[in-house]
C-alpha cells in the first residue's frame, strides 16, 4: 500500500515513488466475458468497512475525529484538509487515483475529483456477503472493478440493477491480452439503481409509498462453509493448498462447517455481535493478532486425553506428541495446488505452483495436474520468547521467493523496491541480457511458455547497476538482490554476499486443515513413513529460486526436475540443523528396526541422537 503522504516533486504522472493507493487497491481488477474475474480486485474479498470505508491518519493509523468516530473515505475533500488528514500539496496514499491520472484515453469524461471516493462511494460492511446464500459474488466483483464501490452490495444481493460505470473496460473479452486494465474513466457517470428486479425476484418488499424492505427469507443466521469459501478458497489455496470438500478433510466428511470451530469471539452477546471471527494461529501474517486462539478449537479441545491413549502404544511414549503437532502426521499430503515459488526478479510477480505449472491469471491457482499430490514441508516453529504456537514441528505450505531491494544509508535492513520500478529497469536492460527469461508450463493447457526472469550473474549485476541509477533509489542506499536466504550487492563488478537482516526468501504458511483419516497418517505404516530415505523427513524446500529456475531441464525431467530441486533446496533435516551423522541415523531403516525390537523405539532413538 502506498505511503500516506508523498511529495509532489517525486510523484510524476507515472507516480513511480508510490505503490498502489487505497483507491486503486480496492478496485483494480480484470474482467473476463463471464461473471467472474481473471484478476479480482482486492476489495472483492474484503467484506467492507476497515480500510475500504475509513481513511488513514497522517501516521498511517486509523483516523478518528474529535467525537471519537472513524473518518470515512468519502468525506468531502475540504473537510479532510481541515481535519489535517490530507494535504493539498501531497499525493495522498488513500485518495490518489493513480490509474486515472496516468490514463491518456481521449474518451475519458469528467474532471478527476480531488477525492474520488466522493464519486464512487465506499465499501461499507456488507452483512449479506455471509448471511445470504444466493449472494452473487460475480456481480459484486464487477461493480467494484467499475469503481462503483457503493453500489457493489446492491448488485451482489440481487436487489436491483446498476446503471452507469465510473470505469469502463475497453473490452471484457480480452482473452490473454496483457492490456487487461485499459479502459475509460467517466467521473460524470452518476451510477443509479433500478430496484424493480429486486422487487420482482422477491428480495425486496415495498412498504408504503417510499419504503423498500429486505425480505427476511434471504437471510440465514448461521452461514455455512460455502459462504467462507467464496473468499478463503482462493487465498488459502494459494498460501497452503487449502481445499474444503468431500474426501479432503475428515471433519468435512462428518458434516462440520467452518463456524463449528471458528465461532464468534467474545464472552457476551454484545461482544459477539462485533462479528470478530475466532481464529487459530498462523506463522505468517499479522492480521488481528489479538484474536489468535479466540473461540477457535484445536485438536486437544475435542479429542483430549484420547490422543495420548491412542498413540502411546504406537510410539511408546509422549515424545512425538511433545515435539510434533498433530497436523504434521495427520496431513501427510495435499491434493490442491499451492503457490510454490515467487520470482519477482524482473519486477513481475511470476508464480510457480506446487505441481510445477505457472498460472497466468488468478483463477489458474485452483487448477492442478490430474492425480498430482504433494507433501507439506515439516519445519519447527521456534518462537523468540512467547510465541502464538507451542514450539513444535508443524506442516507448512513452503514457498520461496527472489527479489530486489535496497539497504537505506546507515541501516542494516532491506527495503523491497516497488515492483514497477524494478520492471522499468528490467525493460530497459532485457535486450542486452544473457538470459532475460525462463521456460515455464502454463496451467491452462500445459504448453511451453517463457516468463521474464533475472538469474544470470551478469544480468543481476546489470540490474543492480541500473537500480543504483534509478531516481527511486534513495541517496546513499545500496541495491541488493535477495536469493537463497542471502542478499547480494556489487563490490566493483563482482557480486558478493552481504549479511543484511531481513533477507527473507522463504514464506512458509502453517497448515491446519485437510486432516486425513488415521490409516493414512504418517506412522500408520510404521516408522519408515518418516524415518527413511524417501520419508517425510527428506521433503525438500527450494531455497534458491533463481538457481532452480535457470538450471532445471524441463524437457528431460519435467517442470519440477527433482535433481534441480535437490541441488537448490534443503530437506527438513537440513533446515532443522541436524548434523550429517544424526541425519544418517534418522534415515537408517535397519537401525530403526533394531531399536524397535529392543524396546521403546522413541526413547531408544532419542538416546541415540543425544
Residue 186: pLDDT band (50, 70, 90) is very high
Judge whether residue 603 has pLDDT over 80: no
Residues 186, 287 share a domain:
no
Q: What is the pLDDT of residue 135?
A: 94
The count of domains in the chain is: 3
Q: 483 near 548, Cβ under 8 Å?
A: no
Q: What is the mean pLDDT of the chain?
A: 86
In the prediction, which pLDDT does 595 show? 60
Q: Which residues pair with 62 in a beta bridge?
A: 56
Residue 187 and residue 276 in one domain? no
pLDDT per position as a tens digit, 70-99:
999 999 999 999 999 998 777 888 999 988
Query: Mutual orientation of helices 589-598 and 601-609 as an angle, nearest 10°?
Result: 120
Please say whether the beta carbons of 183 and 167 come within 8 A: yes
* C-alpha grid cell, residue 362: 488468478
Which residue, 280, 309, 338, sits at the end of a domain?
Answer: 309
Given this model, what pLDDT does residue 495 score? 92
The pLDDT confidence band at residue 553, using thresholds 50, 70 and 90, is confident
- Whether the per-residue pLDDT at 130 is higher than 60: the answer is yes
State yes or no: pLDDT of 305 exceeds 80. Answer: no
Which range is least confidently modeled, 258-272, 428-442, 541-555?
541-555
Average pLDDT in the 425-449 region?
Answer: 86
Say whether both 175 and 54 belong to one domain: yes
Same domain membership, residue 238 and residue 195: no
Q: How many whole angstroms separate alpha carbon 528 and alpha carbon 261? A: 33
Q: Is residue 457 part of a domain?
A: yes
Interval 306-331: pLDDT, tens: 777 778 777 766 778 888 999 999 99
179 and 200 housed in the same domain? yes
List the grid coordinates of 575: 533446515
Q: Is residue 605 part of a domain?
A: no
In this prediction, residue 478 carries a pLDDT of: 95
Q: What is the mean pLDDT of residues 115-121?
A: 97
Proportion of the chain above pLDDT 90, given as a percent: 48
Residue at which a domain ends, from 193, 218, 243:
218
Residue 453 pLDDT: 93
For residues 334 and 236, state if they share a domain: no
Cα–Cα distance measured from residue 505 to residue 341, given in angstroms and rounded to the nearest whole number: 10
What is residue 36's DSSP assignment? S
User: Does any domain span residue 80?
Assistant: yes
- Looking at the domain assignment, is residue 606 inside a domain? no
Predicted confidence (pLDDT) at residue 34 exceeds the cutoff of 60: no
What is the model's pLDDT at position 70? Answer: 96
Average pLDDT value for residue range 267-286: 83
pLDDT for residue 53 is more than 90: yes
| Higher local confidence (pLDDT), 442 or 20 | 20
* Domain co-membership, 295 together with 162: no
Would you say residue 264 lies in a domain? yes
Least confident of 184-188, 307-311, 435-439, 452-456: 307-311
CA dihedral 285, 287, 289, 291 (to 10 degrees): -130
pLDDT tens-place string over residues 390-417 = 788 999 998 899 999 999 999 988 999 9
Q: What is the pLDDT of residue 471?
A: 84
Q: Are residues 406 and 360 in the same domain?
A: yes
529 domain-assigned? yes
The mean per-residue pLDDT over the stretch 542-568 comes to: 85
Q: Are residues 513 and 534 in the same domain?
A: yes
Q: What is the pLDDT of residues 382-396, one digit of tens each?
A: 665 455 677 889 999
Grade residue 607 by pLDDT with cuts at 50, 70 and 90: very low
The Cα–Cα gap between 84 and 283 comes to 37
Percent of the chain past pLDDT 70, that is, above it, reads 89
Q: Are residues 179 and 303 in the same domain?
A: no
Looking at residue 267, what DSSP letter applies? S
Distances (CA, A) of 250 to 326, 520, 529, 595, 603: 14, 11, 21, 33, 31
453-485 confidence digits (pLDDT tens)? 999 999 999 999 999 999 889 899 999 999 887
Instruction: Domain of residue 187: give its range.
Output: 8-218
**Using N-to-C axis directions, what is the helix angle for 419-429 and 457-468, rounded to 10°?**
120
Cell of 577: 540443523
Whether residue 86 lies inside any domain: the answer is yes
pLDDT score of 605 more than 60: no
Residue 608's pLDDT band (boundaries 50, 70, 90)? Answer: very low
Rounded-to-integer distance, Cα 511 and Cα 506, Å: 15
Is the confidence at residue 342, as pLDDT, over 60?
yes
Residue 559 has pLDDT above 90, yes or no: no
Segment 243-267 mean pLDDT: 93
Residue 185 lies inside a defined structural domain of this protein = yes
For residue 491, pLDDT over 80 is answered with yes
- In sequence order, what are the residues at sequence separation of 6 or more whose Cβ sits closer than 8 angstroms to the Cβ of residue 289? 388
Average pLDDT over every residue of 173-194: 77
Q: Retrieve residue 423's grid coordinates.
A: 520492471
Number of H helices and number of E strands within the chain? 24, 22
Q: Once rounded to an integer, what is the mean pLDDT over residues 184-196?
A: 96
Please tell me whether residues 411 and 526 are part of one structural domain.
yes
In tens, the pLDDT along 493-525 reads 899 988 777 787 788 899 999 999 999 999 998
CB 519: neighbour CB atoms within 10 A?
Answer: 7
Q: Do 392 and 479 fall within a single domain?
A: yes
Which one of 187, 218, 249 terminates a domain?
218
Amino acid at each position: 500500500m502506498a505511503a500516506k503522504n508523498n511529495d509532489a516533486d517525486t510523484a510524476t504522472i507515472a507516480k513511480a515513488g508510490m505503490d498502489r493507493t487505497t483507491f486503486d487497491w480496492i478496485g483494480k481488477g480484470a474482467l473476463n466475458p463471464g461473471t467472474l474475474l481473471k484478476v479480482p480486485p482486492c476489495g472483492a474479498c474484503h467484506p467492507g468497512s476497515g480500510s475500504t470505508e475509513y481513511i488513514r491518519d497522517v501516521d498511517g493509523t486509523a483516523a478518528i475525529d474529535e467525537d471519537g468516530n472513524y473518518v470515512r473515505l468519502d468525506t468531502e475533500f475540504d473537510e479532510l484538509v481541515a481535519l489535517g488528514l490530507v494535504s493539498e500539496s501531497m499525493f495522498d496514499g488513500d485518495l490518489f487515483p493513480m490509474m486515472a491520472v496516468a490514463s491518456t484515453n481521449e474518451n475519458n469524461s469528467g474532471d478527476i475529483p480531488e477525492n474520488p471516493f466522493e464519486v464512487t462511494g465506499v465499501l461499507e460492511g456488507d452483512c449479506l456477503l455471509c448471511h445470504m446464500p444466493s449472494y452473487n459474488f460475480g456481480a459484486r466483483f464487477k461493480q467494484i472493478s467499475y469503481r462503483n464501490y457503493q453500489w457493489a452490495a446492491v448488485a451482489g444481493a440481487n436487489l436491483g440493477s446498476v446503471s452507469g460505470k465510473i470505469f469502463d473496460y475497453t473490452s471484457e473479452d480480452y482473452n490473454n491480452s496483457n492490456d487487461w486494465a485499459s479502459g475509460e474513466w467517466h467521473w460524470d457517470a452518476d451510477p443509479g439503481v433500478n430496484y424493480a428486479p429486486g422487487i420482482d425476484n422477491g428480495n425486496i418488499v415495498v412498504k408504503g409509498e417510499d419504503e423498500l424492505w429486505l425480505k427476511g427469507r434471504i437471510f440465514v443466521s448461521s452461514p455455512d462453509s460455502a459462504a467462507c469459501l467464496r473468499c478463503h478458497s482462493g487465498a488459502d489455496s494459494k498460501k497452503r493448498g487449502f481445499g474444503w470438500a468431500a474426501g479432503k478433510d475428515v471433519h468435512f466428511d462428518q458434516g462440520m462447517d467452518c463456524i463449528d470451530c471458528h465461532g464468534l469471539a467474545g464472552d457476551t452477546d454484545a461482544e459477539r455481535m462485533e462479528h470478530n471471527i475466532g481464529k487459530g494461529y498462523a506463522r505468517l501474517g499479522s492480521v488481528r493478532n489479538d484474536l489468535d486462539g479466540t473461540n477457535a478449537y484445536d485438536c486437544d479441545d475435542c479429542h483430549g486425553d484420547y490422543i495420548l491413549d491412542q498413540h502411546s502404544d504406537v510410539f511408546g511414549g509422549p515424545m512425538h506428541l511433545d515435539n510434533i503437532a498433530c497436523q504434521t502426521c495427520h496431513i501427510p499430503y495435499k491434493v490442491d495446488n499451492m503457490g510454490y515459488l515467487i520470482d519477482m526478479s524482473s519486477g513481475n510477480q511470476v508464480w510457480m505452483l506446487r505441481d510445477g505449472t505457472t498460472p497466468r491469471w488468478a483463477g489458474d491457482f485452483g487448477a492442478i495436474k490430474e492425480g498430482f499430490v504433494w507433501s507439506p514441508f515439516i519445519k519447527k516453529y521456534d518462537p523468540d520468547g512467547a510465541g502464538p504456537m507451542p514450539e513444535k514441528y508443524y506442516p507448512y505450505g513452503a514457498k520461496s521467493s527472489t527479489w530486489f531491494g535496497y539497504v537505506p544509508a546507515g541501516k542494516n535492513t532491506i527495503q523491497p523496491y516497488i515492483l514497477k520500478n524494478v520492471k522499468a529497469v528490467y525493460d530497459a536492460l532485457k535486450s542486452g541480457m544473457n538470459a532475460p527469461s525462463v521456460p515455464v508450463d502454463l496451467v491452462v493447457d500445459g504448453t511451453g511458455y517463457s516468463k521474464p526472469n533475472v538469474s544470470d550473474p551478469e544480468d543481476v549485476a546489470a540490474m543492480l547497476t541500473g537500480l543504483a541509477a534509478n531516481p527511486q533509489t534513495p541517496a546513499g542506499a545500496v541495491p541488493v538482490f535477495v536469493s537463497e536466504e542471502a542478499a547480494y550487492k556489487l563490490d566493483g563488478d563482482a557480486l558478493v554476499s552481504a549479511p543484511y537482516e531481513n533477507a527473507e526468501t522463504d514464506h512458509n504458511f502453517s497448515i491446519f486443515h485437510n486432516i486425513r483419516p488415521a490409516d493414512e497418517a504418517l506412522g500408520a505404516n510404521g516408522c519408515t513413513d518418516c524415518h527413511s530415505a524417501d520419508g517425510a523427513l527428506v521433503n525438500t524446500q527450494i531455497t534458491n529460486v533463481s538457481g532452480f529456475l535457470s538450471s532445471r531441464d524441463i524437457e528431460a525431467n519435467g517442470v519440477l526436475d527433482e535433481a534441480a530441486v535437490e541441488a537448490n533446496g534443503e530437506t527438513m533435516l537440513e533446515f532443522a540443523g541436524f548434523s550429517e551423522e544424526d541425519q544418517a541415523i534418522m534415515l537408517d531403516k535397519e537401525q530403526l528396526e533394531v531399536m524397535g525390537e529392543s524396546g521403546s523405539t522413541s526413547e531408544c532413538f532419542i538416546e541415540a541422537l543425544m
